[in-house]
Amino acid sequence: FSWVARMATDDYVGFTFFVGCMAMMAAAAFFFLSMNQFDKKWRVSILVSGLITFIAAVHYWYMRDYWAANMESPTFFRYVDWVLTVPLMCVEFFLILRVAGAKKSLMWNLILLSVIMLVTGYFGEAVQRDQAWLWGLISGLAYFAIVYIIWFGEAKKLAQTAGGAVLKAHKTLCWFVLVGWAIYPIGYMAGTPGWYEGWFTGLNMDVIYNIGDAVNKIGFGLVIYNLAVQASND
């Protein structure tokens, strides 16, 4: 057996890492095992939902132990996770909008913006913490560009063309990006120095990020799952 760290009963950070890890594993199993229940055209989307939660499960396994061993934020692993999973979420937008003729360029634009958002965020959080506000600002601009494209831009128009269950799912995903993803900048401001210091004192950055990940990764996947169920019933 391997050495097992004792977990303090009031270690809420450790608790969210642990629950998050297990929830991601279960979600990945759920998506992987469900994919063949659906019509061919939905299978890739469900598979990608499974990959997003699977990647997260592996990173949470790591981050949970990292936290238990060092009692320190596993920022590095978190960004490794995001830089893989957030582009995959952009792929999901593209996949469901393919029925309306979405072009690959839409996907690549979203992916590029998400990578800019995350790389600049990492710089602010881990490399140039004194300038966290500036890097956060640049990151935020890329975030707004994503929000714009899906809420009002090209993606919105494609969703309207598709109509029906796809339009409804697209709308829900848009709310996830606007409200669910907004959890992350809050965690960032709670965990970095800057003129916004004190806005979110008392909140723990890792707990915020962990809640955000559970909501966004599993929730996003369930929206796609639900879309496949709806579309199969039509």
- Residues lying near ligand RET in the complex (CB under 6 A): 82, 85-86, 117-118, 121, 136, 139-140, 143, 181, 184-185, 188, 213, 216-217
Q: By CB neighbour count within 10 A (0-12 exposed, 13-18 middle, 19+ buried), where does 67 fall? A: buried
Q: Which is nearer to a second copy, 14 or 153 (CB)?
A: 14
Check residue 54 for interaction with a second copy (CB under 8 A): yes
Which residue type sits at 225? Answer: Y
Q: Which does 34 bind (CB under 5 to 8 A by kind): a second copy, ligand RET, none?
A: a second copy
Q: Which is nearer to ligand RET, 158 or 205 (CB)?
A: 205
* Residue among 13, 45, 49, 62 that touches a second copy (CB under 8 A): 62
Binding interface with a second copy (CB under 8 A): 1-7, 9-10, 15, 18-19, 22-23, 25-26, 29-30, 32-37, 40, 43-44, 47, 50-51, 54-55, 58-59, 62, 64-66, 68-70, 72, 75-77, 80-81, 83-84, 126-127
